[in-house]
Amino acid sequence: MTISLLFASLGNQAFAQSNEKLAVLETNLGTIIIEFFPQDAPNHVDNFIGLTESGFYDGTIFHRIIPDFMIQGGDPNTVSGDPSTWGLGGPDERVNAEFNTIKHNHGIVSMARSADPNSAGSQFFIVHKDSNFLDEQYTVFGRIVTEESFQVLDKIAAVKTGANDIPIDTEQPKIVKATTVNRSEVSNLLELSEPERTQSVVTPSTGNQKFQSNLHEIEFNVPEGWLLQEPDKIQEDSPDVVAVGPKVGEMNPVISLIIQQTNQRTLDDLILERIDMLNQAVESGDLTIISQEKIIVNDNQAYVTEAEGYFSSNDEKFNVKFKEVMIYDTEKFYRILYSNGVNDFDSQLPKFEETIDSFKILSKDTPIDEAVEEGGGCLIATATFGSELAPQIQQLRELRDNTILPTESGTTFMIGFNQLYYSFSPTIADLEREYPVFKEAVKLSITPMLSTLSILNYADIDSEQEILSYGIGIILMNIGMYFAAPAIIIYKIRK
C-alpha cells in the first residue's frame, strides 16, 4: 500500500465517526450507502437511523430532482399521497437544527426543512454538485461512501422531471427498501478523507450577526441565532433576505427585506401605492392599521406602518402583528418587515429596532476620503474634510441625530432639507475636489452657518415649540448673515 493510500485509509477510519451503522438505500437504479457524522449532528443521525430501521423510508421516492444541485426524498406522502402534497409530509416529531461547519459538497447528505430552522423531520437531500451557499444553514449528518452510490446519484439526477421537479417515472427513483448494516459488513467503501469544512471562526457573542451585500450595497444586523437566508427572488416583491427566529409562541418571528427600484417615484408616490394595497386588506376585514408615519433612518427618508391582522397558512389561522419600515433612496427603496404573533410581538420588537438602527446603504456611507476619489457626496463634508472644522461637523451630526430628529418638527424639516440639499450638493462637492481654491471659498462661506448651528449644542430642547423657536431663530440669523448684511454693505458702498 502506498503512503498516500495509507493516509487516506487512516483518514477514512478517523473521520467516519460511526464505525457501526451505515444506512443502505436500495433503489430501482441501484444502492446508495450512507455513513453518518454523529459528532456533528447526533440527534439527526439518531432520527435517520430510527426511521430507517422502522421501515419509514420503504416505498418513498426522491420526489424533487434538480440535476447539478441535489436530489430530495424521504416524504411518506410519496408512497400513496396526492402529488400536490409531496414535500409537505413527515413524522410528527421534529428535530432541532444542528447546523455545523461541514460543507455541502458532492455526495453530502443533509436534512431538508421549512423556514423554521427546527423543523427537520424525515426529508433529506443528497448533494449532486457542490452547493456551498447551503453551508451552515442546513444540517449535514452524513455522506455517501461507495462508488456505486455516486453512480446511482448521477442516475437519479438524470431522471426526467416535470412540474415542481417531480420525476415523470416515479418508479425509477423509488427507495424499495431502507435498512442499516454494520460497517464491517460493507467491503467496497471508498477511502475518503475528512469532509471539507467552512472557515467559520467562533467570535464572542454580540447579540447580533451582520449581513452585508456588495451586490445590493447594504449592511445591517439581525439577531444572533436567527436563520439568515437569501431566497430566490421569484417576483419583484419577493424577499431578498429573510431572518427567521426560534419559535416561541404560535409562530416564528421573521424579519425580511425586500429591495425594489423606485423607477423615479418619490417617497410620497410609494406611500400612496402602499396605502392603496393595504386598504384592500383593510376593506376585507383581514387587516387593521395601527399607525403610519414618516421618519428618518440614518439620514434616509422612511415610512413606518404598524398593523395587525389574520392570516392563514396550512389551514391554520394566525393573529399576526407586523411593523414595516420603508426606507427611501433615489434609485431603490428598502422594505424591512418584522412579523410575529400578536402575543409575542413586543418581546422581539427591540431586536427589530436594532436591525433598523444598523441599516446602512453602503454607497451613501462612503468615507469622505474615498468619496474624494469616487465623486459626488456632501459639499459640507467635502469642504471641511481634514480641516479644523471636521470635529465640529461630527458634533453637528450627533446634534442632528440626538436633538433634532427625535422631534416631529425636526424630522419633517430634515426630510425637506435633505431633498433640497442633495439635489445640488454632489455637483458642488465635485467642484470642490477639482478646484482647491473653490473648496476653500466654500469652507469660508459655510463657517458662519456652522457657528450658528452650534448654538443648539447649548440649548435645552424638550418640546416641539422649543425646536421650532430655536430653528426659526437660527434661520433668521443666517438670512441676516448671508443676505441682509451683504445687501447693506453693497448699499453703503454704492451710496
Q: Which residues pair with 212 in a beta bridge?
A: 219
pLDDT of residue 117: 83
For the beta sheet containing 218-223, the strands, ordered from the edge strand earlier in sequence to the opposite edge, are: 208-213, 218-223, 360-361
Residue with cell 423615479: 264
Name, in order, each residue with C-beta under 8 angstroms of 105's C-beta and a sequence gap of 6 or more: 127, 130, 132, 195, 196
- For the segment 354-375, the average pLDDT, to the nearest whole number, is 63
Q: How far is CA 209 from CA 222, 228, 260, 349, 361, in A?
A: 5, 9, 24, 16, 17
Name, in order, each residue with C-beta under 8 angstroms of 290's C-beta and a sequence gap of 6 or more: 306, 307, 308
What's the CA angle centered on 43, arms 37 and 44, to 5 degrees? Answer: 65
Highest mean pLDDT among 141-150, 268-277, 385-394: 141-150
More confident residue, 288 or 12: 288
Split at pLDDT 50, 70, 90, the class of 311 is: confident
Q: How far apart are CA 239 and CA 231, in angstroms?
A: 7
pLDDT at 158 over 90: yes
Q: Where are the alpha helices (DSSP H) in 2-134?
A: 3-15, 42-53, 77-80
Contact at 8 Å (CB) between 25 and 55?
no
pLDDT of residue 5: 31
Name, in order, each residue with C-beta under 8 angstroms of 17's C-beta and a sequence gap of 6 or more: 35, 36, 37, 38, 39, 40
- For the segment 364-368, the average pLDDT, to the nearest whole number, is 44
Cα 468 to its chain centre, rounded Å, is 39
pLDDT of residue 439: 78
Of all residues in the chain, the percent with pLDDT exceeding 90 is 39
Hey, what's the cell of 449?
A: 452657518
Give the least confident one: 219-233, 338-352, 421-435, 444-458: 444-458
Instruction: For residue 154, give the H/E element and its range.
Output: helix 147-157
Of all residues in the chain, the percent with pLDDT exceeding 70 is 73
Contact at 8 Å (CB) between 348 and 225?
no
Residue ranges of domains in the chain, CATH in brackets: 3-185 (2.40.100.10), 208-363 (3.40.1000.10), 367-494 (no CATH)
**Average pLDDT score, the chain:** 80
Hey, what's the cell of 189?
A: 467503501
pLDDT at 178 over 70: yes
pTM of the shown model: 0.44
Split at pLDDT 50, 70, 90, the class of 177 is: very high
- For the segment 437-461, the average pLDDT, to the nearest whole number, is 71
pLDDT at 97 over 60: yes
- What phi, psi does 358 have (nearest 5°)? -90, -10
In one letter, which amino acid is 348?
Q
What's the CA angle centered on 246, arms 126 and 212, to 5 degrees? Answer: 75
pLDDT at 490 over 90: no
Q: How far apart are CA 480 and CA 486, in angstroms?
A: 9
pLDDT of residue 203: 41
> Please, what is the end-to-end C-alpha distance for the chain in angstroms?
108
Q: How far apart are CA 320 and CA 309, in angstroms?
A: 5
pLDDT tens digits for 227-277?
A: 778 877 778 888 989 888 877 777 889 999 999 998 888 898 999 999 988
- For the segment 38-53, the average pLDDT, to the nearest whole number, is 94
Q: How far apart are CA 380 and CA 2, in angstroms?
A: 70
Contact at 8 Å (CB) between 21 and 36?
yes
pLDDT of residue 7: 30
pLDDT at 481 over 50: yes
